[in-house]
Chains A and B, each alone.
Chain A
Amino acid sequence: MSHAESLQRSDVIELNPMFLFRWEEAQNAYVLLYPEGLVKLNTSAGEILSAVAETAAVGDLLDRLTKTYNNEDIAEDVLAFLEASHERGWIRVKR
């Protein structure tokens, strides 16, 4: 088994088209639906994946979120979450 591959700033990412990501009123949260399962996301995870749905490159996404929250320090956490999402197949690299 391979280790988690690290994402590059230039990588163009997208939500896995097999997955359905959306706001679910009854859960008051973003949910991710996929074959054989579903996940309810906490607030920050939901916001990051929303940003993925709207932004293409990893670098742009990091810039956008650090600007929105006016906090450079979150970049590292966001990248770690993206890599974990990639590892699990929630997002993929379009190249």
Chain B
Amino acid sequence: MSAAGSESSVDHRDAGEVKVDGRGLPLWLLLELTYKCPLKCSWCNNPLDFDRYQDELTTAEWAGVLRQGRRLGSLQLGFSGGEPVLRRDLEELVGEANQLGYYTNLITSGMGLNPTRLAALQRAGLKQIQLSLQACDAELNNRLVGVDAYAQKIAAARAIKAQGFPMVLNIPVSRYNIDQTPELLALAEELGVEYVEFANLQYYNWALLNRSDLLPTREQIARAEAAVAEARARLGRRMTIYFVITDYYDTRPKACMKGWGNIHLTIGPDGAALPCQEARVIKGLEFPNVREHDLGWIWHESPVFKKFRGEEWMREPCRSCDERGHDYGGCRCQAFLLTGDAANTDPVCSRSPHHHIVEEAVMAAMVERPQQRLIMRQRGLNLA
């Protein structure tokens, strides 16, 4: 359930379905149980200073968040991180969430996920597992995550299926692995997964640091799309394939989070309430904490959640644009990171006066093509 590619509401497609959003409820609740993780992905969307968040919420505090979330109307729940399996109370929290009526998803690298824990998670009522995989051969996969992880990931995938969980295979896509799209699809088919999500990277935090090394070329993307189209035709309903192209190659921004403070709520390991996982990148915002405030107040009343809600905050060209109802002016984090002001139009949009920044980033990535300069996720990175 990463931000990209997850449909929050299937609306007006056919008889019987009614739009779910529009009532301003945090339908999607994402709990980042910890930022700790045994892997070192160079595109990780956790904060660069992830190791500063050691004061994690306790089991009882997370349980309180779960209860308040249901009272607010949350339905879809993701346990993520960091690596959520590192929390020994994961099973307990899943059980609590299940009893409260959430649809529970686990978002994991697969490290530490063994048949015993999977059986316990199933007993606790876990509904679905999203497993990330980076390549279909051990050498590349291990190089990309900086640790010998491939064998464990494949073992985890098989154990997840053996336990009978529906599974999303999440593949974070960069120039290093995109050419393996046909082989990755074949592997997904062999593993028997129901959903494959090719998640083109979103360039925040570690991914932004490594952007010029990670961004695939247009030609690579076109070839991957062709492989996806071929697999869709062949597999039909047996496997659903999401392929989310990086917005850097688009002329319109993604409808980020379907709007700030509209349907999505993330709680960080320290209890900070975030309108999206990346929101900490925006400097100058004071994120309310569940240790100090009631979730209802946070969602409905807190200044941060109201700041970019609706359309009041918009500037030109968004303010008078006829597409603002579709994309909400794009991503606030991207606007901040690339233009220095979160209230600007997302520079991915060709109507943005800052669009050249995105075009230049694409050019730079294509021209330099440096090899092996990736900065792996690590503690205490000195950015000076």
Taking Cβ atoms with an 8 Å cutoff, the residues of A that contact B are: 1-2, 18, 20, 22, 24, 26-27, 29, 31, 33-42, 44-45, 48, 80-81, 84-85, 89
Contact = CB atoms under 8 A, between A and B. Distances in A.
| 5 cross-chain pairs, A with B, having the tightest CB-CB distances, nearest first | A45-B16, A26-B73, A33-B103, A40-B20, A35-B128
Contacts of B18: 29, 40-42
Contacts of B236: 1-2
Nearest to B127: A20
Given A18-B194, A20-B103, A33-B75, A42 B166 contact: no
Majority SS at the chain B contact face: loop
Given A1-B233, A38-B8, A39-B9, 18 more contacts: A2-B236, A2-B237, A18-B127, A24-B73, A24-B101, A26-B25, A29-B18, A33-B103, A34-B103, A35-B128, A36-B242, A37-B6, A37-B9, A39-B17, A40-B20, A45-B17, A48-B16, A89-B237
Interface string B121-163: 0000001101000000000000000000000000000000000
B17 A42 contact: yes
B327 to A, nearest CB: 19
Contacts of B127: 18, 20, 33, 35
Interface of B: 1, 5-10, 14-20, 23, 25, 27, 72-73, 75-76, 101, 103, 105, 127-128, 130, 166, 168, 194-195, 233, 236-237, 242
A35 B9 contact: no
Nearest to A41: B16
B128 A18 contact: yes
A37 B7 CA distance: 5
B20 A39 contact: yes
Contacts of A2: 236-237
A36 B101 contact: no
B168 A35 contact: yes
Contacts of B23: 27
Contacts, number: 86
A27 B9 CA distance: 13
A31 B166 CA distance: 19
8 contacts: A20-B127, A35-B128, A36-B1, A36-B6, A36-B242, A38-B10, A39-B17, A81-B15
A24 B75 contact: yes
B230 to A, nearest CB: 13
A38 B75 contact: yes
A38 B27 contact: yes
Contacts of B168: 35-36
Contacts of B242: 36
B128 A38 contact: no
Given A18-B127, A18-B128, A20-B103, A38 B20 contact: yes
Contacts of B130: 35
A28 B75 CA distance: 13
Contact of B76 (A26, A33, A40, A48): A33
Given A37-B6, A38-B27, A31 B16 contact: no
A34 B105 CA distance: 10
Contacts of A42: 15-18
